[in-house]
């Protein structure tokens, strides 16, 4: 049974209306290296039809800044946000890649994801019967070609930020970009967040804190919120069974409405339609006891402020 079949529902009309004007700041769509269920132009058209403001194009492998400008120009009623993820394909902790992406118009920089030291599936030979994610299968294929796909480290063996990580954070601060923590583990996340604050980064998003390679405690989530971070709750995390819905809601209650941001992280073929993601979140939140004003603030208000259009 696919994830979508397991959920078995479409968003309610109430939820559709509630999330109008929102941005989904974490989507994976074609063209991409892994298979995706929709392309960026079709998604822009669907966002326009549903009254959604825009989305951020996330790739694990390349800058999407130029592509975002092209799609935005074709669909002026929808704003598409360009991003960069600091995996091995762009040089890892590469301040030059950040500088160029910023000049191309990128707005979000993610710390390593598939090449995070915390993500081991792509660097550990699978055993018989293991379910290997599509990104990890690609890592094994690239390694088989003799290409370097080692982990991208942000700290040294003593937990101190590497000089190249400092350079990246300075570039993010210089261009007033959004820093997202990607798939870093707990200790690396805190080191990067503290370093970012020291370097003057104004906007920090902790990416899916319930994700298995991170799984921040509620105390950790509170500590990150107290540092001024937004905690980004991705629909795909509970949807795929990596956590449960109530644990997400507990995190929201722990850090408060003002420190919670919601996105879909959708695009995999077995996930619901990307354009449904935010409304599906709204239905879940309403069912979890949050009222309409709270839901609209976390999904619409937070995303619009972060995207710079509030």
**What is the tens place of the pLDDT at every residue in 111-154?**
999 999 999 888 888 777 777 888 888 998 998 999 988 999 99
Name the band, by pLDDT with cuts 50, 70 and 90, for residue 105.
Answer: very high
Answer yes or no: is pLDDT of 291 > 90. yes
pLDDT for 30: 98
pLDDT for 123: 86
Answer yes or no: is pLDDT of 7 > 50. no
Distance CA 149, CA 144 (A): 10
Distance CA 44, CA 242 (A): 28
Q: Look at residues 267, 262, 303 and name the one whose alpha carbon lies nearest to residue 285.
A: 262
pLDDT for 4: 36
pLDDT for 122: 86
**What is the tens place of the pLDDT at every residue in 199-253?**
999 999 999 999 998 889 999 999 999 999 999 999 999 999 999 999 999 999 9
Burial (Cβ within 10 Å: 0-12, 13-18, ≥19) of residue 76: exposed
**What is the tens place of the pLDDT at every residue in 36-93?**
999 999 999 999 999 999 999 999 999 999 999 999 999 999 999 999 999 999 999 9
**What is the tens place of the pLDDT at every residue in 74-90?**
999 999 999 999 999 99
Annotate the chain with three-state secondary structure: CCHHHHHCCCCCHHHHHHCCCCEEEEECCECCCCCCCCEHHHHHHHHHHHCCCEEEECCCCCCCHHHHHHHHHHCCCCEEECEEECCHHHCCCCHHHHHHHHHHCCCEEECCCCCCCCCCCCCCCCCCCCCCCHHHHHHHHHHHCCCCCCCCCCECCCCCECHHHHHHHHHHHHCCCEEECCCCCHHHHHHHHHHHHHHCCCEEEEECCCCCCCCCCHHHHHHHHHCCCEEEEECHHHHCCCCCHHHHHHHHHHHCHHHEEEECCCCCCCCCCHHHHHHHHHHHHHHCCCCHHHHHHHHHHHHHHHHCCC
Name the band, by pLDDT with cuts 50, 70 and 90, for residue 100.
Answer: very high
Distance CA 18, CA 15 (A): 5
pLDDT for 309: 64
Regarding beta strands 23-27 and 178-180, do their DSSP bridges make them parallel or antiparallel, or are they unpaired?
unpaired
Answer yes or no: is pLDDT of 178 > 90. yes
Among 141-150, 172-181, 296-305, the range scoring the smallest mean pLDDT is: 141-150
Distance CA 88, CA 152 (A): 7
């Amino acid at each position: 049974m696919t994830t979508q079949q397991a959920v078995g529902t479409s968003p309610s009309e109430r939820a559709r209306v509630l999330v109008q004007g929102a941005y989904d700041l974490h989507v994976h769509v074609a063209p991409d290296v892994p298979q995706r269920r929709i392309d960026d132009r079709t998604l822009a058209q669907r966002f326009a039809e549903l009254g959604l403001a825009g989305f951020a194009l996330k790739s694990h492998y390349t800058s999407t800044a130029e592509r975002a400008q092209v799609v935005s120009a074709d669909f002026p009623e929808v704003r598409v946000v360009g991003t960069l993820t600091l995996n091995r394909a762009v040089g890892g902790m590469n301040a030059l890649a950040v500088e160029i992406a910023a000049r191309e118009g990128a707005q979000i920089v993610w710390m390593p994801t598939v090449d995070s030291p915390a993500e081991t599936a792509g660097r550990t030979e699978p055993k018989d019967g293991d379910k290997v994610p599509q990104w990890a299968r690609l890592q094994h294929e690239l390694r088989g070609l003799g290409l370097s796909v080692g982990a991208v480290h942000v700290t040294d063996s003593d937990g101190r930020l590497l000089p190249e990580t400092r350079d990246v954070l300075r570039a993010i601060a210089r261009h007033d970009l959004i820093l997202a923590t990607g798939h870093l583990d707990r200790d690396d996340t805190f080191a990067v967040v503290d370093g970012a604050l020291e370097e003057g980064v104004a906007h920090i998003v902790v990416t899916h804190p319930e994700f298995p390679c991170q799984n921040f405690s509620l105390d950790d989530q509170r500590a990150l919120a107290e540092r001024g971070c937004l905690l980004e709750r991705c629909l795909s995390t509970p949807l795929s069974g990596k956590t449960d819905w109530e644990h997400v809601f507990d995190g929201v209650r722990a850090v408060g409405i003002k420190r919670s941001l919601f996105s879909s992280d959708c695009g995999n073929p077995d996930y619901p339609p990307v354009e449904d993601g935010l409304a599906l979140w709204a239905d879940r939140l309403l069912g979890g006891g949050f009222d309409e004003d709270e839901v609209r603030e976390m999904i619409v208000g937070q995303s619009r402020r972060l995207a710079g259009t509030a």
